[in-house]
Copies of this chain bind each other. A is one copy, B any other.
Amino acid sequence: MATTRAGSGRVRRRPTRSGVILEPEMIIDAALRLIEAPGGNALTVRRLGVELGADPSAIYRYFRDLDALLIAIADRLIGETLAGFVPGPDWADSLRDMARRVHDSMLRHPRLAQLRAIRFTAGPNELRVDDIGIGLLLSAGFSAPDAVRHFGDFIDAVLALAAMDAAELAPGQEEADKRALAKVYATFPDEDYPHLAAVRPHLRQITASPFPGVLDKLIAALSEAVPRSSH
C-alpha cells in the first residue's frame, strides 16, 4: 500500500510495551472505532495510541501522518459504498444513483469527506467508481475523450459538493451560522440590494443543500451534450 511507510515485506514486528503486535489493519480498525464512537470525532493520534496500547508515535511507523491514515480509512469505506450498486439500463439514472450513494456515504463520515474530495486515494475502489461512470457515459454515446472529460467534471463536482455538505455537519456551529444568515437576509436595506429585495420572501430556501439541484443541472447538461447520431 502506498500509505504505509515500509515496503510490503513487513516482518520485524516487536511487541508494544503492553504486549500488542501492531498491524496496519488493526490501526484502521481502532481508528474507525474512535471515529464512530458516541460524541463524534473522538479520533486523535494520542487517543489512538491509548486504544491500541502503544505509544502514539508508533502509528507514524505505519502511516506518514494522520491524513494518510484517514485516506486509508476512506478507501475502505468507498468499497462499502459501492457494495450492492448495479448500473441500470438508463445511463442518466444510473449516474444519478451512483452520485447519490457517494454523497450519502460522505455525509456519514464528515471528517473523511474533506480528504476524499481532495486527495486521490489510489485505492482499487476509487478506480471502480471511475470505471462504472465512464462506462455509463460511453454507453450513452459519448466518444472516449468526451466521456473521460465529462465524467471527470461530474465526479469532481459531486465530491466537492458532498464535502461542502459534510463540512456543514461537522462542528456544531451550523445552527449559529444559519441563524446569522437568516437574520442578514431579513434585515438588509432594500436600496443597497435591489434584486435581493425583489426576491426577499424566497431567500430562506437558500439554506437547502445545493446538491440535488446541481446534480439535476449536470445530468441535464450531459443529456443535451450527447452526440445527435446516438439518439
Question: Which A residues form the contact surface with B (CB < 8 A)?
Answer: 2, 117-120, 122, 124, 127-128, 130-132, 134-135, 138, 144-145, 147-150, 152-153, 156-157, 159-161, 163-164, 167-168, 177, 180-181, 184, 188, 192-196, 198-199, 201-203, 205-206, 208, 210, 213-214, 216-218, 220-222, 224-225
Contacts and interface: CB of A to CB of B under 8 A. Distances in A.
Given A131-B193, A194-B131, A206 B152 contact: yes
Given A134-B196, A195-B132, A153 B218 contact: no
A216 B149 CA distance: 12
Contact of A214 (B120, B127, B203, B218): B218
Given A127-B196, A148-B206, A149-B202, 8 more contacts: A119-B177, A122-B184, A128-B193, A144-B201, A153-B217, A156-B214, A157-B214, A160-B164
A130 B177 contact: no
Given A214-B156, A217-B217, A180 B2 contact: yes
A131 B213 contact: no
Copies of this chain in the oligomer: 2
A114 to B, nearest CB: 8
Contacts of A124: 192
B156 A210 contact: yes
Contacts of A221: 216-218, 220-221, 224
Most buried by B among A2, A152, A180, A220: A152
Contacts of A225: 217, 220
A225 to B, nearest CB: 8
A132 B196 CA distance: 8
Nearest to A167: B118
Given A2-B180, A194-B131, A221-B217, A156 B145 contact: no
B196 A153 contact: no
A196 B201 CA distance: 48
B199 A144 contact: yes
A148 B198 contact: no
